[in-house]
């Protein structure tokens, strides 16, 4: 059942992105930035975790989960070390996404030649 | 609004604009949304399948499985981007392939490959985060503000 909801919820988030492209005429960069901020705000109100429990990868794969994970990392450290933890814990949870993108980016640049 | 904009534009440009509007292929919002839904949903479904495999075979828990899943998806994106397949999917699906984390990966990897002609340091190194930069910058800034407010409320507000 999680597979079905992952498909539906993930699809819906992408559909919201498409509406922001087509109806509000936002550039991809503006759309993705907005979605990340929305994800962070949703986690601030504690609404993103229930969505992950419900939809699994449908909530963790879209870029909104990046904002959610940043807040999560910051809050986890803040509970241990107080205010300074907000800064030190920021990338604790999201490190995989950024590291993987950079590492595979460099490997890709070594392996592949630009097309066209 | 549209009329106001037109006043500052020379007449030739106005004629061009009218011509362009007429010739522009009308892509309906509805079809685009259906395509984005199907492709975006499929990418998330693949993510869910990868997560399930990791939980069964590598002893990850539901909480820790997110990171390896994201890394795997970005690895797949690297291969698809390098072969030029991801661009084709992107043209078809619009936001469907841009909103998932694979789109974030694609923006980094495609810039890295494209700018290698300008050298690995000044080309790849300085341009690969061009598109992903704003996402990281405002993600971090908003997360900082939210976590700060929440921590202050919890510590001194007794929430």
pLDDT digits (tens, 9 = 90+) for B54-97: 999 998 888 788 888 999 999 999 999 999 899 899 988 889 99
Where does the pLDDT of residue B7 fall: very low under 50, low under 70, confident under 90, or very high at 90 and above? low
| Closest-CA distance of chain B to residue A75, Å | 6
Q: How confident is the model at residue B103 (pLDDT cuts 50, 70, 90)?
A: very high
Predicted confidence (pLDDT) per residue in A86-96, tens digit: 888 888 888 88
C-alpha closest to that of B74 among B33, B37, B112, B38: B112
Q: % helix / strand / coil in chain B, to the nearest 5?
A: 80, 0, 20
Residue A102, both tokens: 């950079």
Distances (CA, A) of B61 to B56, B58, B68, B134: 9, 9, 11, 31
CA B40 – CA B52 distance, rounded (Å): 19
For chain A, say whether B131 makes contact (Cβ under 8 Å).
yes
Say if the Cβ atoms of A57 and B112 lie within 8 Å: no
In chain B, count H helices and then E strands: 9, 0
- The pLDDT assigned to A85 comes to 86
pLDDT score at B5: 55
Best of A59, A108, A110 to substitute, by most chain B Cβ atoms within 10 angstroms, is A108
Q: Give A-chain residues touching B78 at CB under 8 angstroms.
A: 104-105, 107-108
Give chain A's radius of gyration (CA, Å).
16
- Kindly indicate whether the ipTM for this predicted assembly is greater than 0.85, answering yes or no: yes
Q: How far is CA A32 from the centre of its chain?
A: 9
CB count in 10 Å sphere of residue B126: 13
Which residues from chain A sit within 8 angstroms of residue B127, using beta carbons? none
pTM: 0.85
Is the pLDDT higher at B139 or at B157? B139
To the nearest whole angstrom, how far is the Cα of B88 from the nearest Cα of chain A?
12
The answer to whether the Cβ–Cβ distance between B41 and A95 falls below 8 Å is no
């Amino acid at each position: 059942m999680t597979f079905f909801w992952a498909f539906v919820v993930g699809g819906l988030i992408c559909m919201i992105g498409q509406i922001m492209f087509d109806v509000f005429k936002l550039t991809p960069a503006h759309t993705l930035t907005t979605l990340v901020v929305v994800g962070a705000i949703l986690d601030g109100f504690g609404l993103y975790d229930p969505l992950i429990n419900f939809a699994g990868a449908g909530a963790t794969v879209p870029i909104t989960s990046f904002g959610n994970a940043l807040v999560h990392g910051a809050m986890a450290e803040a509970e241990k070390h107080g205010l300074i933890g907000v800064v030190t814990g920021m990338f604790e949870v999201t490190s995989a996404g950024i590291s993987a993108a950079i590492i595979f980016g460099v490997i890709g640049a070594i392996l592949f030649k630009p097309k066209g | 609004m549209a009329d106001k904009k037109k006043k500052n534009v020379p007449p030739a440009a106005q004629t061009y604009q009218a011509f362009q509007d007429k010739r522009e292929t009308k892509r309906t919002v509805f079809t685009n949304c259906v395509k984005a839904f199907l492709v975006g949903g499929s990418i998330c479904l693949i993510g869910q399948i990868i997560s399930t495999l990791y939980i069964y075979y590598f002893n990850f828990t539901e909480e820790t499985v997110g990171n390896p899943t994201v890394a795997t998806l970005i690895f797949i994106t690297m291969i698809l981007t390098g072969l030029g397949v991801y661009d084709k999917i992107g043209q078809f699906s619009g936001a469907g392939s841009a909103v998932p984390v694979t789109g974030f990966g694609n923006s980094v990897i495609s810039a890295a490959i494209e700018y290698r002609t300008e050298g690995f340091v000044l080309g790849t190194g300085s341009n690969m985060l061009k598109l992903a930069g704003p996402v990281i910058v405002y993600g971090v800034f908003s997360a900082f503000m939210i976590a700060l407010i929440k921590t202050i409320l919890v510590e001194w507000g007794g929430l």
